[in-house]
Structure 1
Amino acid sequence: MSSVAIVGAGPGLGAAVARRFGREGFAVGLVARDRGRLDLIAEELAAEGITARGFPADVRRPEELAAALDRLADALGTVEVLQYSPVPHRDFMRPVLATGPRDLVGPIEFSVYGPVAAVQQVLPGMRRLGRGTILFVNGGSAAVPHPERAGTSIAFAAESAYGRLLHDRLAGEGIHVAQLVIPGAITVGHARKDPDVLAQTLWTVHRERHGFRHYADDLDS
């Protein structure tokens, strides 16, 4: 059995993606800092017949994140799908002229070091399988920098570049790398940004394996 690893799993998008992939037979590994929240989501998924377990880790600690993903693969099977979608901290979103070097440490750890650590951990398993999908989920500032959200704008740009490089390099190995940009807030009941709708979008990206950047909604919405 192979698994889907959802880094930054929470009760909204993470749980919806877990259900969507779980219905297709994937075992689900949930990664986030809060063990209690992970256990609750895993229990809810288990009640629906989905194999799921939580693996606590802080994405700003690369060794901790890699170790969690290693435990996940041992427990649930090789990671075939990696989704990296933690929600950035609010203090990453400072105006550009009020952003100094130290203010960028957190965003870079969150959106560059974390993704690199996660990918490096799961990539050997994907290569052994001969297939895989890596999904980066970002806010709108990944595509259009926002002057009031300098930290995430800068870090998301770096994450986007990393993802695109992976997309180009790994396509020939059967490993698809893609990015979903979600402008604005994820909103229950929204036609395009409801968690279940976004989960279906991510499933479609995984299945169709076409292109790098995808948009959940119009950027000016």
Structure 2
Amino acid sequence: MTTFALIGAGPGLGLAAARRFGAAGHTVALIARDAEKLDGLTATLARDDVQARGYTADVLDIESLTSALYAAAADLGTVEILQYSPVPRADFMKPVLDTSADDLDAPLSFSVKGPVTAVNAVLPGMRELGRGTLLFVNGSSAVRPNPRVAGTSVAFAAESAYARMLHDALVPENIHVAQLIIPGAIRPDAEHSSPDVLAERLLDIHQLRDGFRHYAEPLPD
């Protein structure tokens, strides 16, 4: 059995994705900063007969993130699918004219160093398997810069570039890299952007392997 590793586990999309990939036959590694929250999520998944385990790590802390992913693979099985979808901090979202160079340090670590660290931790296992999927989940500022949220606009664009380069470089190795853009808020009542619908979409991206960038719904004009 292989593992679905979710970085940025939470009660919305994270829980829905864990449930869906677990139902598809994968063990689930939940990675987040809050150990108590992880305990609650794993208990919820256990009631759905999903084998899951939580690992505490901060994406801004390279050592903790690497250790969590290594431990997950050792405990649960090789990571075949990695989803990188932590929620950005509110202080990443300053207007562009109020953003200093120092204000970009944390967003870039969050959206570039974090993904690079995670990929480097799981890629050897995927290569041994001969297959794998790397899923990056971003908001619309990844493709349409928003001057009201400069930090995430700059950092998500950099994450997108990294993911696109990975996509092109790893195709020959049967490792699929894809990005899902979610333009609006994730809401239980949203037709295209509810947690359950998005989780199904992520599983489809993993299984169909049909291109790099996908949209939960069209970008508003």
Same fold (TM over 0.5): yes
Q: What is residue 165 of structure 1 aligned with on the other side?
A: 165
Q: Once the 2 structures are TM-superposed, how far is the Cα of residue 50 of structure 1 from its aligned partner? A: 0.6
**What count of residue pairs does the alignment treat as equivalent?**
221
The separation in 2 between residues aligned to 1:90 and 1:219, in whole angstroms, is 22
Asked whether 1:22 is paired with 2:22, we answer yes
What's the counterpart of residue 215 of structure 2?
215
Residue aligning to 2:123: 123
Q: Deviations 1:90-142 (Å, cap 9, x if unpaired)?
A: 11001111110110011001000000000000000000000000000000100
**Deviation (angstroms), 1:62:** 1.0
Q: Whole-Å Cα distance in 2 between the matches of residues 182 and 90 of structure 1?
A: 18
Tell me, what secondary structure is at the counterpart of 2:165?
Answer: helix
Distance 2:94 2:208 in 1: 37
Matched, 1:49 2:49: yes
Q: Report the counterpart of residue 200 of structure 1 in structure 2.
A: 200
Q: TM-score, normalised by structure 1?
A: 0.99
Gaps of 5+ in 2: none
* CA RMSD, Structure 1 to Structure 2 (Å): 0.7
Q: State the Cα distance separating 1:58 from its structure 2 match.
A: 0.2
Match in the other structure for 1:60: 60
User: Which residue is equivalent to 1:105?
Assistant: 105
Identity, in percent, stands at 59
Partners of 1:111 and 1:90 in 2: CA distance: 14
Question: Which AA in structure 2 matches 1:166?
Answer: L
Structure 1: state its 5+ residue gaps: none
For 1:26 and 1:189, locate their aligned partners in 2 and report how far apart those are by CA, in whole Å: 27
Deviation string 1:157-183 (CA, Å, 9 cap, x unpaired) is 000000000000001100000000001
Q: Does 2:193 match 1:181?
A: no
Q: How far off is 1:47 after superposition? A: 1.2
TM-score, normalising length from structure 2? 0.99
How far apart are 1:45 and its partner, in Å? 0.4
Q: Any idea what the Cα deviations from partners look like across 1:56-88, whole Å, max 9, x if unmatched?
A: 000001111010000000110000000000000
Superposition pairs for residues 55-94 of structure 1, below 5 Å?
Answer: 55-94=55-94
Q: Which runs of 4+ in 1 moved over 4 A?
A: none
